[in-house]
Amino acid sequence: MQTELLQEARRQAEICNACRYCEGYCSVFPALHSARAFSDGDLTQLANLCHNCRGCYYACQFTAPHEFDLNLPKVLAEIRRDSWESFAWPQPLARRFHTHGGMIALALVVGLALIFWAIRALGSAGGDGFYAVLSHNAMVAIFLPAFLLPLLSIGIGLRRYWRTVGGTRIRIRHVKAALSKAARMTDLAAGHGEGCNFEDEDRFTHARRHMHQAIMYGFLLCFAATSAGTILHYVFDIPAPYPLWSLPKLFGVSGGVLLTLGCGGMVMMKRRSDQGLGDVSAWSGEIAFILLLGFVGLSGLVLYALGATGLMPVLLALHLGAVLTFFLLTPFTKMAHGFYRLAALIRDAQRD
């Protein structure tokens, strides 16, 4: 990691530790106040606990123009992104995406969609619905490696992270405590229950918390839809397409709606927020990831609505291109933050 960045974070953490005004704001401050000195691993752990709600910044009496010039949300956001890049495997791809995320995502979606469009005749095996365009076996052959390889990459990164932050043996109670906080996103309430002021210094709302929850649960529902379809296909020998009231469709449609609304709301919130309180260099990559994830949900809904029309092959190619792009880029985009944040919450539960 960058030495100067860590030194600046250490300076600010030591001042915060002496002040302790923000002691109850989120998980960062109990962890910060439990230490007297901060190693590089400690700072990495604090950064991945931070949700960038910015409540501490607006409450702080030592921000600019004070000579201490504290901006803890910004420095932790920079360390957080730097940690993902440092732990990522292969590493160069992570650094490139955070600075050129929009162009990379767009190029991959369009390029992969064109490839799916070009091979549609070769993949067709006279099946029903989408399988009339691309066979089930072809989809499995393409997407299974694209799903497993990113998981391997994330696993390598998490192992490096765990060693850096001094993680010990994980107990079930640690995982339960972390999942509870992640599910409720309690740290986005800024410690006072009124929500955070991510968009406006004087306005506390739960909007960002709700957008995060919509995205998280929307993604989980889409994953549940795929899992349900896989079980129906291989266990019960019931191949797609499935009717509206089947589990794959119920999970998929509701998940797509939540993803689309959540990502759209998150983009609007980020555009209204103060970029100077986050990692400016990663702004392009963050917006690109949110738009990509939102497009996955939206294209799936449009594909479902127009799946019986002549537009289906084009829409299917675009949707599959977006999904494959999302899978391939997962270890190098902000999608990785969900894995690292859960690991940070587990490590924090060990401290407690």
Q: What pLDDT sits at residue 278?
A: 87
Contact call for residues 288 and 102 (beta carbons, < 8 A)? yes
Q: Which tops the pLDDT comparison, 49 or 200?
A: 49
Cis amide leading into 241 (omega within 30): yes
75-84, 128-137, 220-229, 271-280: which range is least confident on average? 128-137
138-142, 188-192, 196-200: which range is least confident on average? 188-192
Q: What is the mean pLDDT of the chain?
A: 86
Percent of the chain surpassing pLDDT 90: 37
* Placement of tokens 């030495």 in the chain: 3
* Placement of tokens 């409540």 in the chain: 55
Strand-pairing partners, residue 200, are: 203
Q: Of 124-128, 143-147, 250-254, which has the strongest mean pLDDT?
A: 250-254
- The sign of the torsion formed by the CA atoms of 126, 128, 129, 134 equals negative
Which alpha helices (H) appear in 53-171, and where do they start and end? 55-59, 72-87, 91-118, 120-123, 136-164
Please give the average per-residue pLDDT across 132-157, as a whole number: 84
* Placement of tokens 């600010």 in the chain: 12
Cα separation, 120 vs 123, in Å, equals 5
Cα separation, 55 vs 15, in Å, equals 17
Q: What pLDDT sits at residue 58?
A: 86
Looking at residue 91, its amino acid is Q
pLDDT confidence of 117, banded at 50, 70, 90?
Answer: confident
Cα separation, 71 vs 344, in Å, equals 21
For residue 193, is pLDDT > 80? no
Q: Burial code of 259-293, b = ≥16 C-beta within 10 A, e = fewer?
A: bbbbbbbbbebbeebeeebbbeebebbbbbbbbbb
Please give the average per-residue pLDDT across 269-282, as a whole number: 86
pLDDT confidence of 113, banded at 50, 70, 90?
Answer: confident
> Which residues 6+ apart lie within 8 Å of 132 measured at CB?
124, 126
Cα separation, 246 vs 274, in Å, equals 44
pTM (two decimals) = 0.87
For residue 277, is pLDDT > 90? no
Q: What pLDDT sits at residue 317?
A: 87
pLDDT in tens, 226-269: 999 889 888 888 887 788 889 999 999 999 999 999 999 999 98
